[in-house]
Amino acid sequence: MKALPYLFLFLFCSAILHAQDNVDPPVPVVSDKIFQVVEQMPEYPGGDEAMMKLIQQHITYPSDAREMNLQGRVVLGFVVNEDGSLDSFAVKRGLWPSIDAEALRVVRLLKDFKPGKQQGKAVRVSFVLPIMFRVSGGELLPIINPNITDPDEAKANAACEKGNYEKALKLYKSVCSLDPSNSFAANNLGLCLYQTGDKNGACEAWKKLIDKGFHPTEYYRLKNCAPHRPAHMR
């Protein structure tokens, strides 16, 4: 049986963005208001472990994204209502249409949260949930452009997948010089820079792509360029 790609799921809510040891004055409860942080945050029955298990059981790596070697993070958002039901599902940061749709489909399966509370009263609370899609083994692979028109790009992809990064780098540079808007080739050029020892050049190339909104490259930057973070924040 063909091995399926691994799915690494990083779950957190907006409460982690705020220091827990700060004591703030009570926030008045306002009817119909959607809170970002409350005294008692919403919780899935069984906690994050149970939520992760449900997502892992039902999520599928879209075939087109798998064939393109797409890896990265989708950030989803929804609102937990006073009765624990969910609504207002949205993709806050997308990765690729088929991956975004699959992540959204599975998150809609989550039901019956323990509602968040402010001053002892159940209130509506915004919840943020990132899901990381990562191919088997986590190796650095070129992202395959589904609409290749330049034969040099196809040759570069083949060389890169075989580990011939020097050859691939020259080809990707040629492709990018002819078509600066080709984000796939630019991402893979960064990969080859990284593999040939130019980490700074690679990270700068990936950062430019992320700033332009090409989020499939985010996985590479998170894995290889982001500052070290404590284990509990990864």
Mean local confidence (pLDDT), 160-183:
95
pLDDT band (50, 70, 90) for residue 227: low
pLDDT tens sequence across 159-169: 999 999 999 99
- CATH number of the domain residue 203 falls in: 1.25.40.10
Query: Which residues on neighbouring strands pair with residue 52, listed in sequence order?
Result: none
- Is 74 contained in some domain? yes
Model's pTM, two decimal places? Answer: 0.73
Q: Are residues 43 and 158 in the same domain?
A: no
Q: Are residues 128 and 155 in the same domain?
A: no
Last residue of one domain, picked from the residues 108, 137, 166: 137
Report whether pLDDT(51) > 60.
yes
- Is 196 contained in some domain? yes
Percent of the chain with pLDDT over 90: 67
pLDDT band (50, 70, 90) for residue 130: very high
**Between residues 97 and 229, which one has the greater pLDDT?**
97
Q: Are residues 13 and 107 in the same domain?
A: yes
CB neighbours of residue 215 within 10 Å = 20
Mean local confidence (pLDDT), 175-182:
95
Q: Are residues 120 and 200 in the same domain?
A: no
**Between residues 62 and 25, which one has the greater pLDDT?**
62
Comparing 25-29, 44-48, 139-143, 203-207, the range with the smallest average pLDDT is 25-29
- CATH number of the domain residue 46 falls in: 3.30.2420.10
Tokens of 113: 């949260």
Q: Are residues 133 and 154 in the same domain?
A: no
Closest residue by Cα to residue 145 from 172, 184, 100: 184
Looking at residue 108, its pLDDT comes to 94
Report whether pLDDT(9) > 80.
no
Last residue of one domain, picked from the residues 104, 137, 170: 137
Handedness of CA 141, 8, 218, 221 (dihedral sign): negative
Mean pLDDT of the chain, nearest integer: 84
Mean local confidence (pLDDT), 4-31:
42
Q: Are residues 70 and 114 in the same domain?
A: yes
Percent of the chain with pLDDT over 70: 82
Mean local confidence (pLDDT), 56-61:
92
Name the domain count of the chain.
Answer: 2
Report whether pLDDT(10) > 80.
no
pLDDT band (50, 70, 90) for residue 233: very low
Q: Are residues 91 and 169 in the same domain?
A: no
Report whether pLDDT(234) > 70.
no
